[in-house]
Structure 1
Amino acid sequence: MRKVLYILGNLSDEDIEWMARAGRRLDLAGGQVLVRQGEASDSLYIVLEGHATVDVAGVGTVARLGSGEVVGEVSFVDSAPPSATVSADGRCIVLALAKREIEARLRSDGGFAGRFYKALAIFLADRLRGTVDRLKYGKGQTMDAGRIMEDELDEGLLDQVSLAGARFERMLRTLMAARG
């Protein structure tokens, strides 16, 4: 869940409302593919419930993503095809945001663009730091997914955590209500 806090903590309430309205809620079955390695994806995803696995051809499973994780952000930033396949690990609910809609909003709203790209930069920096930390454990080993790092949240972001958590909960309620 903490990953989405980087995104939602930097966006405004209006941005979050737009994401909830513009996005599609997808209820996936185990094994259903969100992103396929080497194939362009037309959406950016936020895992709302459940888990997804990240697999790299020739390597195997490299990560397991949970609630609040973002999928497809690297390809969104650099337009290169995805470097991994991401699949639902059991039942998984995601918010799918069409890249063309995000790009249109970025072009029409400079404030949103600044907030969105700052949020992605912080998110990607955190992911890179986590990857580097896991490399310390040696080839073929992974860090315990449940382990909490002492410096997991930058102190400068702590003020935004409560607000971001409330925004995530509001987004979930909006999306779940739209389902019914």
Structure 2
Amino acid sequence: MRKVLYILGQLDDEDIEWLARKGRRFQPAPGATLIREGTPVGELFFVLSGEVVVCVSGIGEVARLGRGEVVGEMSLIDSAPPSATVEAAAGALILGVDKRDLQARLNDNPGFSGRFYKALAIFLADRLRNTTQRMNARGGLAAGAVMEDELDEGILDALSLAGARFEHLLARLSDHREHGV
């Protein structure tokens, strides 16, 4: 759930409302492909519940990501195709945000753009730091390895608010579904 906390910790309430309005909530069939290695991604995906499985050609499963994880964010940073395939596991509930809608908001709203890219930069720096630590500690990166680590103090301040925003996003999506929106 750490990734969504980085992102929602930087966004404001209006940004969360926008995600709830623009996002497409869906429950893919088990094994359904959300992202295919080497194929451009059309959406940014938030895992609302359940899990997704990340696989890399020639290696196999490298991770299982659960509630609060975000996938497809790298495609917003550069135009390189995805380096992994992401498939839904049984019971996954996903929020997909169309990349074109997201790009339009990034272009039209400088405040959102700054907050969003800062969140991605914080997350990607943390991911690189953790990967490097795991590789150094183990002489290589083991699939599914989890490194216990500490969060930067500046990030800790935003975590509680980010958790509340994630719960608000889930509630808003539930309201949309119940009212046929």
TM-aligned CA deviation for residue 75 of structure 1: 1.5
Partner of 1:171: 169
Q: Distance in 2 between matches of 1:177 and 1:41?
A: 28
Match runs of 1:52-63 below 5 Å: 52-63=52-63
* Amino acid paired to 1:43: E
TM-score by length of 2: 0.92
* Amino acid paired to 1:164: A
1:51 aligns with 2:51: yes
Q: Distance in 2 between matches of 1:92 and 1:8?
A: 20
User: CA contact under 8 A between 2:23 and 2:95: conserved in structure 1?
Assistant: yes
* Amino acid paired to 1:179: R
Any gaps of 5 or more consecutive residues in structure 2? none
Any gaps of 5 or more consecutive residues in structure 1? none
TM-aligned CA deviation for residue 140 of structure 1: 6.8
* Amino acid paired to 1:46: F
1:31 aligns with 2:36: no
Instruction: Write the deviation string for residues 126-172 of structure 1: whole angstroms up to 9, x where unpaired.
Output: 22222223323244734644x6x241x21111111111111000000
Partner of 2:78: 78
Q: Distance in 2 between matches of 1:176 and 1:129?
A: 36
Partner of 1:120: 120
Instruction: Write the deviation string for residues 48-100 of structure 1: whole angstroms up to 9, x where unpaired.
Output: 10111110101111111111111011122101111100001222111101010
Q: Are the structure 2 counterparts of residues 74 and 140 from structure 1 closer, same or farther at C-alpha, using a change threshold of 3 Å?
A: closer
Partner SS state of residue 142, structure 2: coil
Q: Are the structure 2 counterparts of residues 23 and 143 from structure 1 closer, same or farther at C-alpha, using a change threshold of 3 Å?
A: closer
* Cα root mean square deviation, aligned: 1.5
Partner of 1:5: 5
1:141 aligns with 2:125: no
Partner SS state of residue 27, structure 2: strand
Q: Distance in 1 between matches of 2:143 and 2:56?
A: 15
Is the strand fraction higher in 1 or 2? 1
How many residue pairs match? The answer is 177
User: CA contact under 8 A between 1:48 and 1:93: conserved in structure 2?
Assistant: yes
User: CA contact under 8 A between 1:53 and 1:64: conserved in structure 2?
Assistant: yes
TM-score by length of 1: 0.92
